Structure 1
Amino acid sequence: MEAWRLPVSSSIRGKLISAGYTSLSSISSVSSSDLARDVNITEEEAFEIMKLANQASGSNSCNGSRSLINGAKNAWDMLHEEDSLPRITTSCSDLDNILGGGISCRDVTEIGGVPGIGKTQIGIQLSVNVQIPREFGGLGGKAIYIDTEGSFMVERALQIAEACVEDMKEYTGYMHKHFKANQVEMKPKDILENIIYFRVCSYTEQIALVNHLDKFISENKDVKVVIIDSITFHFRQDFDDLAQRTRVLSEMALKFMKLAKKFSLAVSIYRTHYYTSLTLTRLSLSRGHTQPVTLRLALILQSQVVLLNQVTTKYTQGTFQLALALGDSWSHSCTNRVILYWNGDERYAYIDKSPSLPSASASYTVTSRGLRNSSSSSKRVKMM
């Protein structure tokens, strides 16, 4: 049960959510005095809230235990389940290769990079490509695009949608010469209609929307990808209490994980990142990854959740370095982390963290038609 369902006044409910207490477990894990301080209420009110939360948790405990037992799986079935998970292509084969064929379901993927590197372009590309019909190897789903910065460009989405339809028609023409092929009935207008866009202007709106995603996706089961551009924007500006921010973000990451498992979706998180090209190039070469390998962004809810992140400066060993925002605790919240960086005039993607994919890098380019292979993708990553 979520905290917003508690029988309390709307003002206290809003304070709880704003302070990061979005689930019953988060309320039960603190003392009444801490809850009163964080939510800015009296200790008596905090005690009553905790009492209601404990009662609600107790009423659901039996069902929760039964659900846990019934949900047991063996590792062999899990392996076959992972192999059969669908993926979303990025339209860049080199990138898809290091991602194992594209963005996969049931993972949360964070994508970080410096401004202008193409994070939003990837987000728009995924929101279009997730709609490729199943007969063409796609998922035939819809996309949720959560825009915190106002960077979504509908004109750009139309360009990429038109290119996607043209690519499918070209593929159909080729197949007609050799095999029986399906006709392309999708139009760019249909693709834009299937991108569900949310503009959030504060961290409270962002928290409220994330809390509502479970219900929304349950009612719209054809949603296959959730893109958040970017996860960090409001949390870097409006929070002075870092402990509170960590708690709020941890609750949000937990919700993404639950959505991923429940709906077999992909969650992709984007943020701006400022690692230098030199640092990443050395890191890539030191691990022996000199050839492009396939890359894919991860999916949740049979849709993917892509989280975009921003960058900040970090003081390490006597020098300031650019690093992904939100600190080390947030870095453990996502299953996969992909870092985008410049190597000279070339854009590269580097898999910095993944439980199933090896660390690898691949070049890509952003064209008028969307993401594509770099013309010099056969080159080795050079030392700056």
Structure 2
Amino acid sequence: MTSRSLKRAGISPELTDQLKRHKIESCKDLLTHTSFEVMYAAGLSYQKTIGMLETVSRVIAPPFTTTLALWKYNLDSWFSTSIPALDKVLRGGLPCGSITEVTGPSGCGKTQFCLMLSVVATLPKELGGLDRSVIYIDTESAFSAERLVEIAENRFTDYYKCKDKVLQMASRVHIFREMTCQDVLCRLERLEEIIISTRAGLIILDSVASVVRKEFDTTLPGNLIHRSNLLGQESTTLKYLAHQFNIPVVLTNQITTHIVNQGSGTAPEGDSGMVTAALGNTWSHSVNTRFIVQYVDGHQRQLLIAKSPVAPFVMLNYTIQKEGIVIKENNGGET
């Protein structure tokens, strides 16, 4: 990954400080300069400069692997959602090392789902958690510390009887409020060192569509291309972070309506469009797992597993309670 810092590429702190004075901080910065420019900035001999460039090039080159190694690596790489019915369908939970998207209309519980996952990630491993911290990027000012604590105390009542454990959990959820596309992208490109320093085991971006749809009017010339380029950079960075640290990345997305030509015979009479995830087909291919949440009635909602490498298309009814997302089993029980 070219945005990786030079320190993470094995360059000594003294040399990285020297290069930083010349605005060379990442692998990308280094490799976009000529060998002579790097030699001047680093104060090295030509041979040592070439050696450093080769080292950095090897570090960021995608490594090859075998199917057997990948299978063994992913065998236990699942993050429990704490919802048994959903974990069962997903063969263990959310896949680590990949991107999961939750898309749906406002008020359906996307942020509630993210808050619940944040609590679970901080739990000890013996309780199904990761015993790690959380990086939560909030682009809509929708994060609620009070709601986070309420979910924790009601979903895991026995564990969070002790106030100190509640405080410890809250201190491990790191919030970054980014309100523009550029701010989000810059934050993602700086996350590598933050993940290491905070021991993060989960990344949440709530929501990926909010700032993009506000800033890009795709009816204007050139905006669609610029938006696609930005989303491509974001997805590439998120995929790299997920794979590099083998952690789950969870995003929320909005919905859009695609107009259907009634005269074409592609939609029933009176049906003028269909609801789908926002941001287009290119973005859709960047997502590994997709949940669609929607209303059933004023109280009940529905979660659809619309895309998954392991799970079939499944619909699960749920409600939002004090303890977060509660999915009803077919027999009428709750999980």
For the criterion TM > 0.5, the same-fold answer is yes
**Which letter does structure 1 place at the counterpart of 2:258?**
K
Moved more, 336-345 or 149-158: 336-345
2:129 is aligned, of 124, 134, 138, to 138
Q: Retained in 1: the 8 A contact 2:153–2:160?
A: no
User: Any conservation in 2 of the 1:145–1:196 contact (CA below 8 Å)?
Assistant: yes
The 1-side partners of 2:36 and 2:256 are apart by 39
2:314 is the alignment partner of 1:360: yes
Structure 2: distance between partners of 1:349 and 1:97: 14
Q: Secondary structure at the match of 1:149?
A: coil
Secondary structure of the 1:130 match is helix
Deviation of the 1:106 alpha carbon: 0.6
1:249 pairs with 2:231:
yes
Deviation at 1:247, TM superposition (A): 0.5
One-letter identity of the residue aligned with 1:166: T
| Aligned partners of 1:250 and 1:330 also within 8 Å | yes
1:331-383, Cα deviation, whole Å (9 max, x unpaired): 01111111112234532211111222222222222101222232x6437xxxx
The answer to whether the Cα contact below 8 Å between 1:165 and 1:186 also exists between their aligned partners in 2 is no
Q: How does 1:36-55 map to 2 (within 5 A)?
A: none
Kept in 1: contact 2:105–2:254 (CA 8 A):
yes
Aligned residue type for 2:245: F
Residue 206 in structure 1 maps to residue 184 in structure 2: yes
Counterpart among 160, 172, 182 of residue 194 in structure 1: 172
Aligned to 1:110: 101
1:121 aligned residue = 112
Compute the displacement of 1:23 (Å). 8.8
Aligned to 1:277: none
* CA spacing shift, 1:233–1:343, aligned 2, 3 Å: same
Give the 3-state SS of the residue equivalent to 2:292 in structure 1: strand
1:373 aligned onto 2:327: yes
- In the alignment, what sits opposite 1:267? 249
After superposition, the C-alpha distances for 1:248-300 in whole angstroms (9 at most, x for unaligned) are: 110110111110111111101xxxxxxxxxxxxxxxxxxxxxxxxxxxxxxxx
- Cα distance in 2, alignment partners of residues 365 and 138 from structure 1: 22
What is the Cα deviation at residue 167 of structure 1? 4.3
1:74 is the counterpart of 2:66: yes
Report the Cα distance in structure 1 between the residues aligned to 2:164 and 2:34, rounded to whole angstroms: 50
TM-score, normalisation: structure 1? 0.67
CA 1:4–1:142: 2 relative to 1, 3 Å: closer
Q: Which residue of 1 aligns with 2:77?
A: 85
- Over aligned residues, Cα RMSD in angstroms? 3.2
What's 1:227 paired with?
204
Given that 2:27 and 2:56 are in contact with CA atoms closer than 8 Å, whether structure 1 keeps it comes out as: no
Map of 1:313 onto structure 2 = 257
AA at the equivalent of 2:115: I
Corresponding residue for residue 3 of structure 2: 2
Residue 73 to residue 186, structure 1, CA distance change in 2 (3 Å) = farther
Work out the CA distance in 2 between the residues paired with 1:254 and 1:156.
31
1:335 aligns with 2:288: yes
Measure, in 2, the Cα distance between the counterparts of 1:160 and 1:53: 55
Identity %, equivalent residues: 27
Match of 1:174? none
Q: Distance in 1 between matches of 2:108 and 2:325?
A: 12
Corresponding position of 1:239: 216
1:64 to 57, 64, 68: 57
CA 1:104–1:168: 2 relative to 1, 3 Å: farther
Using CA pairs under 8 Å that are at least 6 residues apart, name the structure with larger relative contact order, 1 or 2: 1
Going from structure 1 to structure 2, the CA distance change for 1:207 and 1:113 (only over 3 Å counts) comes to same
Distance 1:162 1:153 in 2: 14
How far does the alpha carbon of each residue in 1:318-343 deviate from its partner, in whole angstroms, 9 at most, with x for none?
A: 43332211111110111111111223
Q: Deviation digits for residues 209-244 of structure 1, max 9, x if unmatched?
A: 111111211222x21111111001111111241101
Distance 1:322 1:139, change over 3 A: same
**Does the 8 A contact of 1:24 with 1:53 survive in 2?**
no
Pairwise CA distance, 1:3: 9.8
Shift of 1:185: 9.2
Unmatched runs of 5 consecutive residues or more in structure 1? 14-21, 29-49, 171-183, 269-306, 380-384
Of 325-334 and 307-316, more deviation after overlay is shown by 307-316
Give distance in 2, aligned partners of 1:113 and 1:83.
30
Shift of 1:135: 2.3
Contact 2:209-2:254 at 8 Å conserved across structures: yes
Change (3 A) 1:223 1:78: same
What is the deviation of 1:98?
A: 2.0
Gaps of 5+ in 2: 7-18, 39-49, 218-222, 263-271
